[in-house]
Amino acid sequence: MKKYWSFFRIRFIRGLQYRTAALSGMVTQFVWGSMEILLFRAFYQASPESFPMTFEALSTYVWLQQAFLALYMVWFWESELFNSITTGDVAYELCRPVRLYDMWFVRGLAVRLSKAVLRCMPILIVSWFLPAPYGLTLPGDVKIWAVTILSMTLGLLLIVAFNMIVYMSVFYTVSSQGIKLFVTSLAEFLSGSVIPLPFLPDHVRTIVELLPFASAQNVPFRIFAGDITGPDLTISILKQTFWLFAFVLIGRYLEKRALKRVVIQGG
Amino acid sequence: MIQVEHVNKTFKVTRRSAGFSNAVKALIHKETDTVHALSDISFSIGDGEMVGYIGPNGAGKSSTIKILSGILTPDNGTCLINGRIPWKDRREHVKDIGVVFGQRTQLWWDVPVIDSFELLRDIYEIPRHQYLTTLEELIDLLALEEIIKTPARQLSLGQRMRCEIAASLLHTPKILFLDEPTIGLDAVSKLAVRDFIRKLNRIHKTTVLLTTHDMQDIDALADRVLLIGKGRLLLDGTLSDLKSRCEPECSTLDEIVASLYREFQI
């Protein structure tokens, strides 16, 4: 366990070094969140009855999304990992008495957490002070907080497990460009980071909610905003767990197969 | 003890001629050639031996090192290192070996070298006491005192290579594979590296297998030389065996090797 903790630590500390990037990221996310809420406000004023969430829930969703962007952005890749596979530097990591999958999984967690830790607090605090219904609304029930944290954890693990599948695929395809482009745009939409999933037409939404990407940020943020309750909540958490296991199994299978037939590039 | 018997490895290489029309053709039908990186390689290396592994570029040296370190699986043949098959039992096997790839880096680029060392300490689960003793010895022998506090990106190539070698030895492996450890180094660094490897072998009886294109490395380090070309093992003998093959007498080691390459048409 200690080796994974060390690995986590070195990557985490390294992530904390980039303060200017964190500051500019925070400003961007704050402006982006405000614009998104203003945009939805226009919709809401045009026809409040066809709005699928309460406005408070929407604002809460948007602010959580901006604050924890680093945890759930599917389009974030570590180019070092892609490079190490295409240039063959991965050779060194294969000389360690550790499973490559585990090592990179921990690394993925560390990068995302270090980014999020730097950025989330200011956004959460400022948005909490914004007047209703434009700010962050906190749920009164402690249980909701606990379930949100559980669900956020599952969602984060799911995203990292998904990243791992893409990293492992580079052992087979050599170039990461195609798969990155394809996966990024699709997953962003399907995970509800472009528009929250309740805004999709009903028949589309039913399908999208079954897909794995709906089990990332969509679930915890809507739980926190009070938009998922009762039996839906249990089902959503179960779906998250299912997809997490599925992604981890696929990733580990790809890793195993890749290492058996792997060609470490370069002399 | 390293035993390699009848190891074969082939790679598929895609080929096409230059130009647009050929590129379009390759979209529909990819032509692949099979390259025999290693054919029927057998040798054995005893404990504490220092062996030089030489051959022209593309001869199969790196492939052999990768197979011995467990990161490449051969098509067939057997290989036993201290009773283990490297690619089957990779995680146990790598605890016993150290590998230095001269053209790659294992140090974290933007943190002080010592941080990378401590990560390796935890990855290999080296007991604290043993780690400190080894580190002290390596710092002393490789003159690392000042440079381990510097981030790897600010080191010169020679300094970095000394750190790379130290990093590969922190877990006191019984076997050390060096893949072109002196590539690109200046005279002083080369001598320092050679001197260190000799001492390591003398003090700890570490088995060393090194590939290189620098014949002075071989002269300084190897008691025994394996010559490989086009995937075949052509010669296995001492340095003086190598010298005696050269007719008429060659003056430098480089000439001897060049004449061997000519003789075997590799």
- What pLDDT, in 10s, does the model give residues B122-135? 999 999 999 999 99
Instruction: For chain A, give the mean pLDDT.
Output: 90
Do B122 and A14 lie within an 8 Å CB cutoff?
no
Q: What is chain B's alpha carbon radius of gyration, rounded to the nearest angstrom?
A: 20
Spatial contact of A109 and A8, defined as CB atoms under 8 Å apart: yes
Q: Residue A75: its pLDDT value, please?
A: 87
Tell me the pLDDT band of B248, cut-offs 50, 70 and 90: low
CA–CA distance, B246 with B40 (Å, rounded to integer): 26
**For a pLDDT cut of 90, what percent of chain A falls above it?**
60
Of A6, A13, A263, the CB nearest to B122: A6
Tell me which of A92, A175, A262 to substitute to probe the interface with B (most B C-beta atoms closer than 10 Å).
A92
Q: State which of A67-76, A257-266, B12-21 shows the largest mean pLDDT.
A: A67-76
pTM of the model: 0.88
**Nearest Cα residue in chain B from A266:** B62
Tell me the pLDDT band of A126, cut-offs 50, 70 and 90: very high
CB < 8 Å & 24+ apart, contacts of A253-259: A254/A165, A254/A168, A254/A169, A254/A171, A254/A172, A255/A99, A255/A100, A255/A101, A255/A164, A255/A168, A258/A168, A258/A171, A258/A172, A259/A94, A259/A100, A259/A171, A259/B71
Q: Residue A172: its pLDDT value, please?
A: 84
CB < 8 Å to A91, chain B:
66, 69, 71, 99, 101, 104
**Phi/psi at B106 (5° precision):** -110, 0
Q: Residue A262: its pLDDT value, please?
A: 64
> Over the stretch B45-101, which tens digit does the pLDDT of each residue have?
999 999 999 988 888 888 899 999 988 889 889 999 999 999 888 889 999 999 999
Average pLDDT estimate for B234-241: 86
Of A14, A96, A266, the CB nearest to B111: A14
Q: Residue A267: its pLDDT value, please?
A: 46
Average pLDDT estimate for A137-154: 94
Average pLDDT estimate for B163-167: 94
CA–CA distance, B98 with B124 (Å, rounded to integer): 11
Of B95, B101, B119, the CB nearest to A10: B119
